[in-house]
Amino acid sequence: MAAASDSTHPPPDLDVDDDDEEFDDDDDDDLDDEADDSEPSASSSEAARLEAVLRRLTADEVRIRVHQVTIRGCARTRRAAVEAAVGPDLRRAATVRDLVRAAAAAGDRLRRLGAFDTVSITLDAAPPGIPGSAVVVVVDVAEARGRAAGDFGVFANTQTRSCSLEGSVKLINLFGFCETWDASGALELDKTAELSAGVQMPRIGAIPTPLLARISFLSDDWLKSSLKEHLMGVSVGLLSTMNHNLAYNMTWRKLTDPTRMSSNSVQEELGHSLLSSIKYAYKVDQRDSSIRPTRGYAFLSSSLVGGLAPGSKYSRFLRQEFDLRVALPLGVLNGALNAGVAAGVIHPLERGSTGTVSPLSERFYLGGNRPLVCRLGGPSSLLGFKTRGLGATEFRAHDPNNSDNGTSTSPELNGLGGDLAVTAFADLSFDLPLKPLRDLGIHGHAFVCAGNLVKLTDYDLRKFPVTDFLQTFRSSAGFGVVLPTRLFRIEMNYCYILKQLDHDRGKSGIQFNFSSP
């Protein structure tokens, strides 16, 4: 009989018994001769024998006919879910070469479901009385014992002087469809609460693509911006493959101003609104690691068409993002140079509309303490600057209580984001000289990053001032230490602001970054 091992590298190993009727007697004689001439070690003799058989069967067009595909080991997993992952290629295989390739692909799909500890695909002779070169394919799976996983953490943000609680839980194969249920939450004290839950269902039966659905809730209290924002959204995946993703999103938002001090542009956004959008993303990531890439490249293109709901206060608009990353090994101290550039633009699809071009939540904002290297997601990261710390701003209204008391306060600014954003970075990572730190994966890095964003409504696109846009780029540089763990990545950096404008909120100093791998 022939067996496909649990290795993720195709093609699988084959083992052929001497009494298999589908192979010629000459093959058995050759195998016996090879076994007699081999070394005394039984394991090396068997390995050489299997390799010779595999080479002979895959090199020649050995015709076979798959009589039956049997699935074993499903206790709580529904058979339809396994059959959909195995696919029809095993039954259609007409040669041993086709069968080996189909078995390797089926085994890889089954492992990616995450519901099984081991997967084995075995080729055996058909029962007596079946005419022709008929074989039986046996798929053995061992279901994973642990179906639940979770983590919890407490993180301190020195930049905003706040503390956040974050946790997540994941359930796999809860109802036997090899589905993945997950829920996550984050609570930043006195500021933000974010909850989300979702399910990913693999392709089953007549369903042509995996199904994804997610619901999220966000309560954001921007005290410095005099805004309170509540978001509730539903996302449904329409198409999901290794590189392509198509999803429909509907978000209900309520924006309030308890202090009644927001700027005029923000006051236009107050109240309830419904945003309906469809988003397509193409992503390829050929980097050798998502924590510390040393070679490879990654690319993301994301297109979102918003304002699809009837009666929406927003006109239809297109939000396009690009993100390109490259990692090059240096050959010294395990060093690597990571470089990237990201750009995004929001453009109205309807002319002459009286509504707002795009909601505040969909615009681009630069700043914050997100790592430069790991995340693919368009322009956003700019170390050394506070969240929403640069770009177009408007002065808030004066507090009437303070005016009555005759006191004067410095005016606060509301960040308005931008319709066009560009960022770029270069990051040099290297091993530290201490061996205990290298064994833990702790390494150093130095970086430089720059970015800019503007509101396109302030310019005529045919006369867009490219030179002014390039000359007003903000930039920062720094160095630090990176501690990667299985659950998250920690960066301790010293950031130095190289260039900022008058109303930007950037500050040189030490900064801690926490992110998921």
pLDDT digit string (tens) for 209-267? Answer: 777 888 888 877 655 555 677 888 888 888 877 788 899 988 888 878 777 766 666 77
pLDDT of residue 320: 93
Q: Which regions in the chain score pLDDT beneath 70?
A: 1-43, 46-47, 49-60, 146-147, 150-164, 189-191, 204-208, 221-227, 261-265, 311, 351-358, 392-415, 457-461, 486-487, 515-517
CB 255 within 8 A of CB 270: yes
pLDDT of residue 206: 61
Pairing between strand 2-4 and 116-125?
Answer: antiparallel
What angle, 0 to 180 degrees and rounded to 10, lies between the N-to-C axes of helices 42-59 and 96-112? Answer: 110
Using alpha carbons, list the distances in angstroms from residue 193 to 151, 190, 217, 439, 466: 18, 9, 8, 37, 39
- CATH 2.40.160.50 domain range(s) in the chain: 148-395+414-515
Sign of CA dihedral 34, 39, 42, 47: negative
pLDDT of residue 481: 93
CA 39 to CA 54: how far, in whole Å?
20
CB 237 within 8 A of CB 212: yes
Query: Architecture of domain 53-143 in CATH?
Result: Roll (3.10)
pLDDT of residue 205: 63
- Rounded to the nearest integer, the mean pLDDT of the chain is 76
Q: Which two tokens stand for residue 184?
A: 């996550």
Backbone angles phi, psi at 403, to 5 degrees: -65, -40
- CATH 3.10.20.310 domain range(s) in the chain: 53-143
What's the CATH number for 148-395+414-515? 2.40.160.50
Q: Which residues contact 506 (CB under 8 A, 6 or more apart)?
A: 367, 384, 385, 386, 389, 390, 474, 476, 497, 500
pTM of the model: 0.68
pLDDT of residue 354: 47
Q: Which two tokens stand for residue 405?
A: 């008391």
Give me the percent of the chain exceeding a pLDDT of 90.
16
Pick the closest to residue 212 from 170, 173, 182, 168 (CA basis).
Answer: 182
pLDDT of residue 152: 62
pLDDT of residue 151: 64
Place of tokens 């929406």: 312
CA 381 to CA 425: how far, in whole Å?
9
| 3-state SS class at 469 | helix
CA 244 to CA 299: how far, in whole Å?
12
Q: In which region does residue 241 sit, left (phi positive, over 0), alpha (psi from -120 to 50) or beta (all else)?
A: beta
- CA 447 to chain centroid, in Å, comes to 23
